[in-house]
Chain A
Amino acid sequence: MRISLKVTGAQGQGVNSIGEMCAKGLKRAGYCVFGYKEYMSLIKGGHSSYQLDVASEAIESSETTVDMLVCFNHHGLERNALEVKSCGIILHQTPQWKYTKEQQKVLEDRGIRTVYLPSEDILKKLKAKPILGNVLVTSVVWALLGRKAEELKELVQEQFGHKGEKVVAMNFQCIEEGFAFLGEESGKWKVESGLRLPKSDPSWKDHLLITGSEAMGLGLIHAGCRLYCGYPMTPSSPLLSYIAGMQNKTGMIIKQAEDEITAAQMMSGAMHMGTRAATGTSGGGFDLMTETLSLDAIIENPSVFILAQRPGPATGLPTWTAQGDLLLAVGSSHGEFARCVISVADAQDCYDLMPEAFNIAEKYQTPVIVMTDKQIAEALFTQKPYDQKKAKLDRGNLVTDPKALKKLKSTDRYDPNAKDGISPRWLPGSLAATYCAQGDEHNGDGSVDESAKNAVEQIEKRMKKMKAMERETPEPVLTVMSNEKLAVSNEEPALDLLVVSWGSNKGVIMDALKVAGSGLRVGYLHYTYLWPMKTERLSKLMKKSKKTVLVECNYGGQLGMLIQMAGGPTIKEKILKYDGRPFFVDELQKLLIANS
């Protein structure tokens, strides 16, 4: 069982702060929370929302409808009132508000109650600053959820304790007033909502509430990344902000570059020198980075590019989500070369795949593109504390031992006969024979060599790395729904419905499968490693499945195209979405049922 609440208002009105406070309180009360933000590309005004979906079991998706709607202004009442489910609650702050006749009828039919909170008057009475409206509204929400004022006070104490007793006391007063308000009002409005929190599960209490961007920042730190360079562009900016905010603790070198070309070049220079460095951007910025990516390929420089997708072309929908850049990641940059494209799906991946990305980059001495999107970057996940023992540092064929360094010849650096095309790499400053990291076609020591023979040798050397990568990257992961439970399967069982997807869709697909169960044998095949593309397992599964459906947030079904490009099967059934919004769980369920 799950419930959802949504806070709406103009940007800057406190939508996010209420959302975050409620999320924290609910998690601590023993719930799994998934937070989803919608906002527009402007600073003040507009219409934004923060939705929290709450359950006692793991969820990573939102519903199209909500149990409680909190509105800062009349726009929410106009636009979102009909998203409220039967017996839900609308809490608003617009004096003398009147619904349209049509709205009124629907709301009555659904038994939805509307509560007007005169927050301005209450704040005036308390002589409290307008900013305290957030705490006041939160306390009413909290009371409506049937929770205790003490829980909220604890949070406030934690958050504002450093601001002194006075501030805390004022906050407490607002909380008490919020609870008292409902006491009176509940009689009048007969607030006995259908809104019931599910049974709690204390194991959520010690989880983290973390956005994908923060998780990725922690993941980069964990991976030993010591330099991060970026240029602000939604949805990659929160990563830059987080990791920059951490610099005094981590000692990392952070550079907000003059443009994305610079960001990519600085990352590449730092990697070439021998540290671990990363850069992150969105589609437009990535376009600017692609010449550098190609350079990294020919000089065999390990490099990590984070590509946070939003809908294009051009500026597109800056603050919304999409998966339209998969083929860009795979096909960007001139020339043919080995690269690895992987995608995170949630806060777990955001952390785990960072060391992995660097290990791959250093092992194969080639660029790695890590894909994410606005949905992951800004969603709030309830995440188990990260395992600190799992990641291993793999720096590949990096020579640092002084004796081994002495033995190296200049021509070893790009030796075309190296196994799997992976030749020894050693760092500038090493007491060893020197070489040139050469952007022109070159021979072993990096000298320019335009001969036909050399060209063939070197291209083949670099492409051998693709073969090795293909051999070593994992197959996509299958999760099967059986006995009402989702479980990873290492077999290729016969299925009624096989769902294939990647990236941020994972969470909502898993949640949809849980509910869609209904006796069908359903499986989900998730692609984390997108290039090199593996299709063998998919082929086997498709042969045994009654039906296979591709789910993506783009117009073309790019994963499907990529699978075909790699010689894999054609997935004819597609559920595609390209309106800037992620899939919602109830929406996807209906689509899956219609397709099964």
Chain B
Amino acid sequence: MSIPLDSGTAKKMSAFHCANQCTWCDGCGDYGIWTAVKRALSESDIPPHGVLLCYDVGCHGNTSDKILGYRFHGLHGRVIPFAAGAKLANPRLPVMAFGGDGASFSEGVGHLVHGIRSNYPITFVLHNNGNYGLTTGQASSLTQQGQPMNSSPNGIPEHTLNSMDFVFSLEPTFVARAWSGDIDMMTKVLKAAIGHRGFAFVDILQACPTYNHFATHSYLMEKCYDVNAEGHTPDDFSKARALALDTSKRIACGVLFQREDMPSFYERLEPRKDCKTTAVEEVQIVDTAEWEHEFM
């Protein structure tokens, strides 16, 4: 399988180029995701100053100073609520959040649940490398059972969380999957996610040659395929869920599910209906005299 790197948008993509050197391991899937994000942003005509990229803490979080754009690098597990708060304050600015499988399915799993449920209008990109990379290879709740890991030499006693089943149970409005070796596919789904009305969940199966010896680059390359190219349209919830869950033979990638008829959290806020300004623009001393009458 060839991995196209040149999309013909190199000039615009270079706007996101940052002089800091990458610090990931050789062959790390984060290189591919990093590239695809820059490409998706430039192909979506979003300049560096026109986006807020929010990073969780983990190997993926080290992207925060390897790319230009307004960026934030916060706490482990907490990236979703920060990104959501930022977005609500200025819904005009695209906001993307990036988190690892450790961050999203252990430390901050509650935020993922409520992020999807709230349908915040943000893009969430899961760097799914099946382990805690940055803390040197402990098991995450998505690590395969039986796999010896740092701190669990006999493999984990808990069963592996079925992440896609879990995500679909939350009635998401957008679910896509890609893998870190396929920049074209990642770019495609990221662009779709950025354009989505509500909360876009993008699961990127990420190679971690250092600690993940089960879902390797070549394993993923072999099993992943473009499900949309095979005719899947993302409007059928049960079909999408079944496709997402069945990874025994092949792994379906692409936009698995999307519905645009659901208003986002912001659109549901009664006081913001017909409001032309953003909360960022509204900061001023407000006269409260009229509201004091009820206390007279």
Q: A210-B295, A249-B291, A273-B90 are in contact. Are A262 and B114 (CB under 8 A)?
A: yes
Given A250-B271, A251-B271, A393–B78 Cβ distance below 8 Å?
no
- List residues of chain B with CB within 8 A of the CB of A383: 295
Which of B70, B85, B292 has the most chain A CB atoms closer than 10 A to its own CB? B85
Q: Report how far A559 CA is from B84 CA in the complex, Å.
A: 37
Residues of B that sit less than 8 Å from A by CB = 20, 48-52, 54, 57, 62, 64-65, 68-75, 78, 81-90, 92-93, 110-111, 113-114, 269-272, 275, 278-280, 282-289, 291-292, 295-296
Contact B291 A206 (CB under 8 A): no
CB <8 Å contact, A227 and B289: no
Q: Is there an interface contact between A393 and B285, defined as CB atoms closer than 8 Å?
A: yes
State the A residues within 8 Å of B (CB): 206-210, 214, 218, 221-224, 226-227, 229, 246-255, 257-259, 261-262, 265-277, 291-292, 295, 299, 355, 383, 385-386, 388, 391-393, 395, 427-432, 434-440, 442, 445-448
- Bound together, the chains give a CA A258 to CA B57 distance in angstroms of 21
Asked if B283 and A393 make an inter-chain contact with CB atoms under 8 angstroms apart, the answer reads: yes
A393 to chain B, nearest CB (A): 5
Of the candidates B65, B88, B111, B291, the one whose C-beta lies within 8 Å of that of A447 is: B65
Residues of A within 8 A of B49 (CB): 429-432, 434
* Given A253-B269, A269-B83, A391-B285, 13 extra CB contacts under 8 A: A210-B295, A226-B89, A258-B113, A269-B72, A269-B82, A273-B85, A274-B283, A295-B75, A385-B289, A428-B93, A434-B48, A436-B73, A448-B62
Q: CB-CB < 8 A to A431: which residues of B?
A: 49
Asked if residues A266 and B81 are in contact (CB atoms below 8 Å), the reply is yes
CA distance A275 to B281 in the complex (A): 7
Instruction: Chain A residues near B113: list those with CB within 8 A.
Output: 258
Given A299-B72, A446-B65, are A208 and B93 neighbors across the interface (CB < 8 Å)? no
Are the C-beta atoms of B82 and A265 separated by less than 8 Å? yes
Q: Cβ of A270 and Cβ of B89 under 8 Å apart?
A: yes
CB<8 Å pairs between A and B, sample of 17: A207-B296, A209-B296, A227-B89, A248-B270, A251-B271, A261-B81, A269-B87, A273-B87, A275-B278, A277-B279, A383-B295, A391-B285, A393-B285, A429-B52, A434-B48, A434-B70, A436-B65
Is the pair A428, B68 in contact by a Cβ cutoff of 8 Å? no
Query: Chain A residues with Cβ under 8 A from B269's Cβ?
Result: 253
Check A266–B93 contact: CB distance below 8 A.
no
Known contacts A262-B81, A267-B85, A436-B73, A273 near B286 by CB under 8 Å: no
- Please judge, given known A-B contacts A222-B288, A429-B70, whether A395 and B81 are in contact too, CB under 8 Å: no
B121 smallest CB distance to A (angstroms)? 13
Given A248-B270, A257-B81; A429-B50 close (CB under 8 Å) = yes
Q: Is the CB of A273 within 8 A of B280?
A: yes
Partner of A270, one of B51, B69, B86, B111: B86
Q: Which of B84, B270, B284, B291 contacts A218 (CB 8 A)?
A: B291
With both chains docked as a complex, state the minimum distance between the C-beta of A256 and any C-beta of chain B, in angstroms.
Answer: 11
With A268-B82, A269-B83 given, is the CB distance from A253 to B279 under 8 Å? yes
Contacts of B284 in A (CB 8 A): 224, 393
Inter-chain CA distance A261–B114, complex, in Å, is: 13
Complex Cα spacing A258 to B271, Å: 21
The answer to whether B285 and A273 have CB atoms under 8 Å apart is no
Inter-chain contact B73/A437, CB cutoff 8 Å: yes
**Considering the chains assembled together, what is the distance between the CA atoms of A173 and B271 in angstroms?**
41
Interchain CB contact under 8 A, A214 and B295: yes
Complex-state Cα separation, A450 to B286, whole angstroms = 44
Q: What is the minimal beta-carbon distance from A80 to any residue of chain B, in angstroms?
A: 29
Is the Cβ of A429 less than 8 Å from the Cβ of B90? yes
Which residues on B sit within 8 Å (CB–CB) of A254?
271
Tell whether, in the assembled complex, residue B71 and residue A273 are in contact, meaning their CB atoms are under 8 Å apart.
Answer: no
Q: Provided the pairs A226-B283, A277-B89 are in contact, do residues A439 and B75 lie with their beta carbons within 8 angstroms?
A: yes
Query: With A and B bound together, what is the CA distance between A385 and B293 in angstroms?
Result: 9
A292 CB → nearest B CB, Å: 7
Say which residue of A226, A388, A429, A442 sits within 8 Å of B65 (CB atoms).
A442
Whether B279 lies near A275 (C-beta < 8 A) is yes
Q: Which residues of A contact B82 (CB under 8 A)?
A: 265-266, 268-269, 272
Point out the residue from B75, B83, B85, B271 that lies within 8 Å of A291, measured CB to CB.
Answer: B75
Measured CA separation A392–B283 after assembly (Å): 12
- Tell me, in angstroms, the Cα distance from A471 to B70 when the chains sit together: 33
Q: Are B88 and A224 in contact (CB under 8 A)?
A: no
Partner pick for B292 among A218, A249, A428, A434, CB 8 A cutoff: A218
A274–B280 touching, CB < 8 Å: yes
Q: Once the chains are docked, how many angstroms separate the CA of A119 from the CA of B100? A: 65
Q: Assess A270 versus B65: contact at CB under 8 Å? Given A208-B292, A249-B291, A436-B72.
A: no
Chain A residues near B74 (CB, 8 Å)? 265, 295, 299, 439
| B275: A residues at CB distance < 8 A | 251
In the complex, A446 Cα to B71 Cα: how many Å?
Answer: 9
Contacts of B93 in A (CB 8 A): 273, 428-429
Which A residues are CB-close (under 8 A) to B69?
A: 434
Contacts of B87 in A (CB 8 A): 269, 273
Tell me the complex Cα distance, A266–B87, Å. Answer: 9
CA of A73 to CA of B51 in the docked complex: distance in angstroms? 62
- Is there an interface contact between B75 and A276, defined as CB atoms closer than 8 Å? no
Q: Which residues of A contact B280 (CB under 8 A)?
A: 226, 273-275, 427
